[in-house]
A = this chain, B = another copy of it.
Amino acid sequence: MPAPPTPTPAATHSKVDLLIIGAGPAGLMAANWAVSLGCRSVRVVDKRNTKIFTGQADGLQCRTLEVLHSFGMAQDIVRQSNHMLEVCFWNPVDGTLRRTGRIPDTIPGISRWQQVVLHQGRIERAFLDRIHAQSHGEVQVERAKLPERLDVDTDLVESTHPDVYPVRVQVRQLSEDEATPSQMGKSTPNGLFRSALAPDDTPELLSSSSSSVSGTKAGAVGSRQVIHAKYVIGCDGAHSWTRKQMGIDMAGEQTDYIWGVLDAVPVTDFPDIRMRCAIHSANDGSVMIIPREDGLVRFYIQISSTSDGAADAATKVDRHNITWQRILKAAQTIIKPYRLEISERDLHWWTAYQIGQRVASGFSLHDRVFIAGDACHTHSPKAGQGMNVSMMDTYNLVWKVAKVLQRQSPRSILPTYQAERRRVAQELIAFDHRFSRLFSGKPQAAEDAAREAGVDLAEFRNVFAKGNRFASGTAVEYGPSLLVGRGGDATELGDGTDVVGPGALSRPELSAEGCGESRIVVGQRLNTAQVVCVADARPWQLVDWLPSDGRWRLLLFCGNLVDAAQRPRIEAFARYLETQLLPRYTPARHDVDSVIDCLTISSTPRTACELSDYPAILHPLTTKWHRPGSASAAAGDVGEARAKSQDYWKIFCDDESYHAGHGRAYEKYGIDAQRGAVVVARPDGYVSLLVALDDVDRIDAFFDKCMLPAEMHLPFASRDKPSGAVDGAETKGVPPVPSKEAGEVAQAL
């Protein structure tokens, strides 16, 4: 119900460290990561008034589950999910459809997790619940808020003064109607309104801005807020408004393949309906089957291709001509001679899309405004990459922003976001290009062997198997930079951004080549191995002790403590930690493990020595479990008035356990069991350094570039209460918003 036009009222103003635009998986990961790091001055705005409950993305890859686990979220999600174990290939053989092969869906050993599927709504729900719990309800998604103006004060972008907020974003409160996606009222939810086949409604909403002001109170429909932010992340999807304000283009192409998607509980006699299947028919296209939770199955169904002339590559198909019945009919034809029936009642969601493969030309503006997720890359959904890569984008970014906000690190670490993630996006598009063309093509076996467009089914299967490693997310390898002390050319191994760091500090030979899927590769994430806690004999996956809490991790594979030659090396390293490295970066009166957390993995059998035989700094006294005293203390400052006891969960051994076998961690990591090695892992679990125990100069050289000394560190800002007055009376001290039109902002920056 738009009210009659009135003059735009003055906006309220407020300050925030981090503003996130868009509450999809990328945005929620960003918010979750920020609150996990202790940042409370964070806001999330979304133009929609509702979250997605069915359909959308659904695959969770190994690396995503590893990251979710680092937030304590994976077990619940995996429990609700459907697990995908095997891929079956079905092809035309002797005039009928036959299973021509099987491969494991996840390469064994690649991760402790295997690929699962669960609908996006439940994953978003898990994030919302955790953000609420972690922030004690302080951080919530603010819905029906449309950003309409973005402004960066370029003079201030390099300042790390805690009172400097160089980015301004004006948002407007939408009405219920404006914030409701148009499909929501229909009986079977479908995703056409978000598909590439549907137009973006943001320009329409923006143009209605002057006519929809219906109140003057803060939060009332049409009311405006100006958010003064230190950093902004646009997670606002393929049509990203943020990206447009930044003046960034998408480069790539649109394919001519159109696919339909059905989420339903089918009635069928197809034998592999609970397997992931790639089905190529002789002449009628392809189906991919993704079995899901609660008896559901997702079908990706090819409904047109160049060869049948139904669609023109350059034109968008009229979405009103696509119905779920038409998609189902295509599937029924492809899957013959098997029966496939779906009643409307058991159809949970459907959509159709045309594959576009594009990457944004940049991911950042002055390293103050970033884009992530679908705003940076679009591609086909069938390999289950979109939601995963999107979440991994903000997982890569937010800790870096937090370290800069806390002045633990210089701003020079921020360009690594684009270097690392745009490179991944480029690789993803290359993968998807190959994968989706193969999948959409016709099987060669059924066609003239000479035909150029034909797909060799052996090649398809081969690409599929290789693709599984890429698709798992575990193969991601970041190039050299301030945050990755490895060899190689930083621009060549990234996206071209200059992120040159301290050079080839690592010694890759310390993790033996050929040791297997858990080899430690600098620039890759650390795979896990089972170790046994010395103090309580409990077996653990090592990565259980690398939660996403913002700390750097120093993994001391100390070798054999009871070896006479090794013991002095261990003691020397412990002295270095205690007297040099840790004091340099740990503020006074904070627990010694609060910035860099050192975990020891010993090759000495558990009962061959006592915990007290290990240097004290390796199982330090901390206040972790002790109740605070009455002395007031700043954030992170543990004060004096609290007892301290040993941290019993820092020393592990590579030994037999009572109930879970032997982890053989040294063997899996390819580390020498006598002499050991030191691994430095970033707060996001990627390996920065692999050096010997004597290489303390290399460790110094690494941290010297990417960290600032303890004296400079700052606590996070507390949450700002937005000024309540609409008339601007309470906004003194906050500069007024320039009166440029939203459309002009990008040019002006």
Contact = CB atoms under 8 A, between A and B. Distances in A.
B85 A648 contact: no
Contacts of A93: none
A84 B538 CA distance: 7
A747 interface: no
Contacts of A535: 273-275
Interface in A587-638: 607, 610-612, 624-627, 629
Given A612-B271, A648-B273, A536 B85 contact: yes
A343 interface: yes
Contact of A625 (B275, B296, B533): B296
A516 interface: no
Nearest to A649: B274
A584 B704 CA distance: 78
A582 to B, nearest CB: 22
A627 B659 contact: no
A648 B272 CA distance: 10
A329 interface: no
A626 B104 contact: no
A346 B296 CA distance: 51
Contacts of A657: 85
A220 interface: no
A173 B352 CA distance: 61
A265 B626 contact: yes
Contact of A643 (B86, B108, B343, B645): B343
A332 to B, nearest CB: 16
Contacts of A610: 271
A75 B79 CA distance: 10
B536 A83 contact: yes
A108 B658 contact: yes
A735 interface: no
A648 to B, nearest CB: 5
A738 interface: no
A79 B72 CA distance: 10
B274 A624 contact: no
Interface residues of A, number: 50
A468 to B, nearest CB: 12
Contact of A274 (B85, B536, B644): B536
Nearest to A641: B345
Interface string A532-549: 010111110000000000
A536 B84 CA distance: 7
Q: Most chain-B Cβ atoms within 10 A of its Cβ — which of A269, A538, A657?
A: A538
A311 B539 CA distance: 44
B538 A83 contact: yes
A744 to B, nearest CB: 51
A268 interface: yes
A345 B626 contact: yes
Interface in A384-424: none
A503 interface: no
26 contacts: A75-B79, A83-B536, A84-B536, A85-B537, A85-B538, A85-B657, A85-B658, A86-B536, A86-B658, A102-B607, A106-B658, A114-B659, A265-B627, A268-B645, A271-B610, A273-B648, A274-B536, A275-B537, A291-B536, A295-B625, A295-B626, A295-B645, A343-B643, A345-B629, A346-B626, A346-B643
Given A104-B659, A114-B658, A274-B533, 15 more contacts: A75-B75, A75-B79, A83-B536, A85-B537, A85-B659, A102-B607, A106-B659, A108-B658, A108-B659, A267-B643, A267-B644, A275-B535, A343-B626, A345-B626, A345-B629
